[in-house]
């Protein structure tokens, strides 16, 4: 019975603190052996009432031109606190008079529940795309309020001030580390020793916490190497996945940023990797990867290390865009001097697989063109 389950025989690490029981249950019911190591505190989102009230008073003091909402949990916590203080009507009126940009559907939902409407939100759910949306605009003298999302956005505020804006950041909550670090240290060892098939991540701070834990035990390089080669970094969505870019780690994430969708993706991803990953490219060509072997329409394709590294990153999320910065970080040491090295590696990969196999997405990066 157990052997017929889609994840039987696979060992998966879980870093979530919130909804951990739900995620562990989803994985175990599919046959997986689970190692749970919360990267953050079980009560990770600590609200400093005094600091938040002072920031709220500052926001209410001057009309707001532009408001950037980044997380649903942050917006809900802010609105609930303002309601306790009797300031909610004033806060809603102040934000409602501004142009509102939201990072993703959760922040959109929190806004709409209180009667506020966003003017724009990126499909990617990436805060970087919100900033890109603002980059070409004249912000001179505009007052912008930014809701922080558990980690400091001081660099974002600085960038907006360079465009002439008057920026106020509102720290609704801060993310706290796990109360007991021992499970995280054990998880570091399991990943570095390649004793796991995958590790799941539901927030960017969890990624940072695991890498920091590996650094404190002297195993950061081993951890990163394991994720680059043998252990799948499974993320709930693109925002979480972006935290791995600086380490050159390929990630997988579902089309919809939902827990069940992430687990469903693992159901197909892990067995396919064990038996060899097969993909259909544009034009009906069949690409098969098994370990270091690459076959195109049944014929072996020999790749040098740089284009092989690019292919590994692209197949981790077939059809999705991988940024040049992420690909640059994936290139072998000695070849990753500039983004020109990425372009050269992509050119060699196209020469091996066909020019249509890898598509350029202007100003964003590249993606594998799957059929």
Give 19-76 as a DSSP string. Answer: THHHHHHHHHHTT-EEEE--SEEEEEEE--HHHHHHHHHHHHHS--SEEEE--HHHHH
User: Who wins on pLDDT, 207 or 230?
Assistant: 207
* pLDDT(244) > 60: yes
Higher pLDDT residue, 45 or 199?
A: 199
Query: Over 90: is that where the pLDDT of 235 sits?
Result: yes
Per-residue pLDDT band at 275 (split at 50, 70, 90): confident
Residue 2 has pLDDT above 60, yes or no: no
How many CB atoms sit inside 10 A of residue 33's CB? Answer: 14
Whether 318 and 308 have beta carbons less than 8 Å apart is answered as no
Residue 140 has pLDDT above 70, yes or no: yes
The confidence score (pLDDT) of residue 256 equals 85
173 in Cβ contact with 46 (< 8 Å): yes
Smallest CA-to-CA distance from 347 within 336, 332, 357, 361 is with 357
300 bridge partner residues: 295
Q: For residue 231, is pLDDT > 80?
A: yes
Region class of 364: left (phi > 0), else alpha (psi between -120 and 50), else beta = alpha
Distance CA 236, CA 267 (A): 14
User: Highest mean pLDDT range out of 47-51, 57-61, 203-207, 299-303?
Assistant: 57-61
Q: What is the pLDDT of residues 306-361, one digit of tens each?
A: 999 899 889 887 888 888 888 888 888 656 567 888 999 999 999 999 999 999 99
pLDDT of 290 over the 90 cut: no
Closest to 224 (Cα-Cα) out of 322, 368, 303, 329: 329
Stretch 211-236: mean pLDDT:
92
Burial of 277 (0-12, 13-18, 19+ CB in 10 A): middle
Provide the pLDDT for residue 326: 85
Indicate the average pLDDT of the chain.
89
Taking residues 33-57, report their average pLDDT: 87
Quote the pTM value: 0.66
Q: Does residue 105 carry a pLDDT above 80?
A: yes
What pLDDT is recorded for position 190? Answer: 98
């Amino acid at each position: 019975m157990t052997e017929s389950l889609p994840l039987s025989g696979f060992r998966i690490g879980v870093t979530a603190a919130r909804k951990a029981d739900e995620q562990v249950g989803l994985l175990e019911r599919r046959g997986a052996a689970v190692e749970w190591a919360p990267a953050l505190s079980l009560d990770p989102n600590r609200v400093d009432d005094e600091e938040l009230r002072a920031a709220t008073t500052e926001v209410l003091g001057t009309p707001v031109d532009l408001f950037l909402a980044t997380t649903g949990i942050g917006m809900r916590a802010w609105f609930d606190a303002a309601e306790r203080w009797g300031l909610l009507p004033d806060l809603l009126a102040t934000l409602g008079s501004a142009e509102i940009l939201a990072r993703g559907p959760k922040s959109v939902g929190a806004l709409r529940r209180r009667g506020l409407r966003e003017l724009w939100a990126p499909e990617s759910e990436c805060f970087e795309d919100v900033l890109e949306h603002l980059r070409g605009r004249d912000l001179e003298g505009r007052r912008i309020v930014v809701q922080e999302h558990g980690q400091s956005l001081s660099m974002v505020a600085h960038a907006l001030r360079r465009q002439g804006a008057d920026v106020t950041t509102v720290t609704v909550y801060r993310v706290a580390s796990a109360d007991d670090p021992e499970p995280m240290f054990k998880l570091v060892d399991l990943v570095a020793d390649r004793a796991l098939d995958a590790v799941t991540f539901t927030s960017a701070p969890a990624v940072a916490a695991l890498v920091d834990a590996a650094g404190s035990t002297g195993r950061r390089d081993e951890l990163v190497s394991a994720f680059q080669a043998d252990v799948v970094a499974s993320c709930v969505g693109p925002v979480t996945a972006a935290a791995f870019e600086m380490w050159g780690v390929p990630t997988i994430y579902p089309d919809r940023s939902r827990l069940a969708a992430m687990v469903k993706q693992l159901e197909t991803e892990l067995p396919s990797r064990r038996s060899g990953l097969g993909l259909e490219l544009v034009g009906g060509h069949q690409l098969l990867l098994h370990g270091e072997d690459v076959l195109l329409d049944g014929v072996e394709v020999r790749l040098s290390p740089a284009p092989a590294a690019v292919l590994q990153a692209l197949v981790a999320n077939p059809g999705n865009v991988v940024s040049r910065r992420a690909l640059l970080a994936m290139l072998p040491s000695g070849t990753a001097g500039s983004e020109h090295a990425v372009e050269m590696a992509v050119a060699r990969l196209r020469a091996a697989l066909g020019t249509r196999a890898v598509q350029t997405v202007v100003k964003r990066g590249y993606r594998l063109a799957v059929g």
